[in-house]
Amino acid sequence: MKNEIRTHLNDPGQLEKLYRTNKVPFKREFSTMYPELKGNALADFWNERLNYESDEINWGTGRELLFVIIASLLAGFIAKIPAMFQINEEFFYPRNIGFIFLPLLTAYFAWKNNLQLKQIAVICGAMIVSLIYINVLPASTKSDTLLLACIHLPLLLWVMLGAAFVGNNLTDYNKRLDYLRYNGDLIVMTTLILIAGGIMTGLTIGLFSLIGFQIGEFYFQYVAVFGLAAAPVVGTYLTQTNPQLVNKVSPVIAKIFSPLVLIMLVIYLFAIVFSGKDPYNDREFLIIFNLLLIGVMAIIFFSVAESSKTARNTTATWVLFLLSAVTIVVNGIALSAILFRIAEWGITPNRLAVLGGNLLMLLNLLFITVLLFRALTKKSDIAAVGKSIALFLPIYSIWVLIVIFLFPLIFGFE
């Protein structure tokens, strides 16, 4: 892409064609080249075009706003299904928590990206099958396979959302990285919405109590529930119509938290030695250890996705390399602990699920670490790291499918 931009730098028509064909790679590569092109009239124009940000809030089209309002209301009604139809909440929410908003976000991106009918049919079919399947599984408070299916089902819905997000070009790894960035931006925006909603809730309940109306119970049962369900929908709408709201915040968060998490992990590994606890004989500690691992992996994924769209930053790459290397150590400890528990007490659904997940994360981390080292030694660039993450995402999806649909059959719904 760099060579093509340089070759056609004085050909406005060809540059426009390059941009329309590959918008994300064009913007990324142009941004890295611009410092040396500065002063060229056409290069200056493209820099302003690609980086122009309006100070005004964009509310999108009327149809889009109407879609978001209806989707937000639907999310609230889905969340209130147990109360409206006298369904046991302990049965409904663990199985259907992902269906409250993820299918609505999927519908939003399917509509925005004009998905082909065939792809829409596949996504809808997968969601309907998943909805029926998870709700007909035998009800049991002691079934590990049911618990695993309930935990992994939102991940499957997340994959379906990703398929709608990338549109009709499922093989475009840049779109997959954009999906990871969208998730980071959505977390930031949804958190801000929830903080603002919490402040408004406190003020509303307090003001009404001053005049003798105790509306706390009603407010939490209806207004707050609808607000919580709608927050990801509204957050998605705002990030897509106003990317300037968070596209400066997310990279800063990634740059701040990556070194902090690295320091925390190193200190934590040393603290384990003196704590007297270990994941080999303490099941709860092993669970927390794996949750820590998943959280760090998410930070690495998000940081790489953010770094891959900016110019090379050696310090940030070093931080990511060291973080990946330390995370391999954490993964190795978790993996050895689960292998030890399997050797001592045999295979269970939980242990096999954790084993498979840890093996996939270890393999992915090894690829990431090697490619980060190659980027540091200038044998490759950070974009190759992002590509490896994007190419690995479908493998995680396959494992999620196995845990949800095959584990209950393999272990007899145990």
Average pLDDT, the chain: 87
**pLDDT of residue 130 exceeding 90:** yes
Break the chain down into helix, strand, coil percent, rounded to 5: 80, 0, 20
Please report, rounded to a whole number, the percentage of residues in the chain having pLDDT higher than 90.
Answer: 46
User: According to the model, what pLDDT value does residue 215 have?
Assistant: 93
**pLDDT of residue 24 exceeding 70:** no
**pLDDT of residue 201 exceeding 90:** yes
**Nearest to 160, CA basis, from 81, 83, 101, 221:** 101
**pLDDT of residue 308 exceeding 70:** no
Q: How far apart are CA 134 and CA 137, in angstroms?
A: 6
**pLDDT of residue 206 exceeding 90:** yes
Specify the range with the lowest mean pLDDT, choosing from 6-15, 151-160, 338-347, 367-376.
Answer: 6-15
Q: How far apart are CA 230 and CA 109, in angstroms?
A: 16
**Nearest to 77, CA basis, from 232, 229, 235, 234:** 229
pLDDT in tens, 89-105: 999 999 999 999 999 99
Match 């670490």 to its residue by tokens.
369
Q: Computed from CA positions of residues 81, 82, 84, 87, in that sequence, does the dihedral angle turn out positive or negative?
A: positive
- Report the interhelical angle of 249-275 vs 283-307 (nearest 10°): 150
pLDDT in tens, 257-305: 888 988 998 998 888 888 777 788 877 888 888 888 888 888 888 888 7
Cβ-contact 324, 368 below 8 angstroms: yes
User: According to the model, what pLDDT value does residue 311 have?
Assistant: 52
State if pTM tops 0.75. yes
**pLDDT of residue 382 exceeding 80:** no
Overall average pLDDT of the 155-182 stretch? 88
> For residue 327, what are the CA distances in angstroms to 268, 277, 279, 288, 321?
12, 19, 16, 15, 10
